[in-house]
Amino acid sequence: MGRKRLQEPADGRPTVHTVAARAGVSIASASRVLNGVGGSPETIRKVREAAAEVGYVPNAIARSLQSQRTGLVALAVEDIGNPVYVEMMRAIEAVVASSGRQLLVHATGGRIDNETALLRRLANRYVDGMIVSPIRVTDDHLTALVDSPVPVVVVGQLGADAPIDNVRTDSRHGMALAVDHLVAAGRRRIGFVNGPLDTVPGAARDAGFRAALASHGIPVDDELVEVGDFQYAAGRAATERLLARADPDALVCANDLIAVGALHALLVAGRRVPQDVALVGMDDTELARMMFPQLSSVSLGSTERGRRAAELLLQRIADATLPPRREQVPPHLVVRASSAATLPAPRPAGPPTTHPSSEGVTA
């Protein structure tokens, strides 16, 4: 009885050949039974039994090579410690799971080489598609995205001409919402704690902040502007620097992590929030609601963006010939306790009123 090929691989794991041999049928029959298509009752029984006996588990890689799909979708974000990405991920996960696929997340740590490396690696067929949210976009990056072997959807701003599915928001406008709100509340010395200016969101928010102040005829005082990165510690340190040289009556932060850092710095410095300094964050993450006082924040619709990105991706996986699409989710302001008071607010020292932690109202 000449077996035609090795049936037991070196690592001892059974293959479909093992099962077929044990069941006394061909590998075709075995495969069919294992996939639940066809097979006589007798064959089905024998194959099932054999498979159970040897503990057969199919090799997904081999299956994927044949079927040209893996059932996996990846999400690449810069920093998974930022709750905004967690929220986005949850939304994506929901959509992806409903299509019977599984979502994998990769944190690039903002290292651009890492991100392109990921693209070149994962995208080379390990996944059926991927969603990436880059905060810096280089040309290298762009070409890697454009000729990715698998469908890619970008969450965030991209050059206008890039032929890539893209879900964006308008954080410039988001900054305007925050500034308008603070100005309406009587604030004039409005500070700004931003992330790095060489990032896409950093640049957009800087531009938005300046434009918004200008629209109210308020000159920009660069003493009131600080830059760190998009993390808690940087936000706190930047705010400390800012407070050491200026005296804002309001602070806008480029994201919620920075805003939490700013809140800490303000409280440590003995400022009351919102009485002395009103505070507005951005992204409207769970973190904003966790703080005391709860933080006002500009929602950039991260859940909505995630959902839409996932839908775009699934559509493109289904039909690669679709033209590149671009969707936009509008920002909106959620006002909470950290910016609720109007100046002047001559309340005496002490903790704020019993329930300043209202769930917030949408502006």
Q: Which residues bind a second copy (CB under 8 A)?
A: 11, 13, 55, 57-62, 64-65, 68, 70-72, 74, 80-81, 83, 86, 89-90, 93, 102-107, 109, 118, 120-122, 124-126, 147, 149, 232, 260-261, 263-264, 267-268, 270, 286, 290, 292, 320, 349-351, 354-355, 357
The pair of structure tokens assigned to 101 is: 């696929």
> What amino acid occupies position 305?
R
Q: In terms of CB distance, is 66 or 354 closer to DNA? A: 66
Closest C-alpha among 353, 52, 363 to residue 183: 363
Q: In terms of CB distance, is 212 or 334 closer to a second copy? A: 334
- Rounded to a whole number of angstroms, the minimum distance from the CB of residue 165 to DNA is 23
Find the radius of gyration of the CA atoms of the chain. 27
Q: Which of 1, 2, 3, 6 binds DNA (CB under 7 A)?
A: 6
- Site residues for DNA, 12-41, by CB under 7 A, read 13, 15-17, 24-29, 31-32, 34-35, 37-40
- Rounded to a whole number of angstroms, the minimum distance from the CB of residue 236 to DNA is 48
- Site residues for DNA, 135-194, by CB under 7 A, read none
- Rounded to a whole number of angstroms, the minimum distance from the CB of residue 124 to DNA is 8
Q: In terms of CB distance, is 219 or 350 closer to a second copy? A: 350
Q: In terms of CB distance, is 216 or 241 closer to a second copy? A: 241
- Rounded to a whole number of angstroms, the minimum distance from the CB of residue 274 to DNA is 59
Q: Tell me how crowded residue 11 is: count the other CB atoms within 10 A of its CB.
A: 5
Q: In terms of CB distance, is 36 or 351 closer to a second copy? A: 351
* Eight-class DSSP state of 252: E
* Eight-class DSSP state of 90: H
- Residue 43 lies near DNA (rule: CB under 7 A): yes
* Eight-class DSSP state of 191: E
- Rounded to a whole number of angstroms, the minimum distance from the CB of residue 122 to DNA is 15
* 337/297 Cα distance (integer angstroms): 10
* 286/35 Cα distance (integer angstroms): 43
Using an 8 Å Cβ cutoff, are 49 and 23 in contact? yes
Q: In terms of CB distance, is 183 or 309 closer to a second copy? A: 309
Q: Which of 1, 3, 5, 219 binds DNA (CB under 7 A)?
A: 5
H-helix segments, the chain: 16-23, 27-34, 41-54, 60-67, 83-98, 112-122, 139-146, 171-184, 200-215, 232-245, 256-268, 286-290, 302-318
338 contact partners, CB below 8 Å, separation of at least 6: 263, 273, 274, 278, 279, 280, 281, 291, 293, 294, 295, 296
Compute CA 214 distance to the chain's CA centroid, rounded to the nearest angstrom. Answer: 31
Closest C-alpha among 267, 219, 274, 270 to residue 252: 274
- Rounded to a whole number of angstroms, the minimum distance from the CB of residue 25 to a second copy is 22
Q: In terms of CB distance, is 27 or 345 closer to DNA? A: 27
- Site residues for DNA, 44-73, by CB under 7 A, read 56, 58-59, 62-63, 65-68
111 contact partners, CB below 8 Å, separation of at least 6: none
250-253 sheet: strands from edge to edge: 225-227, 190-194, 250-253, 278-282, 296-299, 332-335, 361-362
- Residue 302 lies near DNA (rule: CB under 7 A): no
Could you say which of a second copy, DNA, none residue 42 binds, taking C-beta under 5 to 8 angstroms by partner kind? DNA
Could you say which of a second copy, DNA, none residue 27 binds, taking C-beta under 5 to 8 angstroms by partner kind? DNA
- Rounded to a whole number of angstroms, the minimum distance from the CB of residue 202 to a second copy is 21
* 176/49 Cα distance (integer angstroms): 67
Q: In terms of CB distance, is 344 or 348 closer to a second copy? A: 348
The pair of structure tokens assigned to 185 is: 């509340």
Q: Which residues bind DNA (CB under 7 A)?
A: 5-6, 9, 13, 15-17, 24-29, 31-32, 34-35, 37-40, 42-43, 56, 58-59, 62-63, 65-68
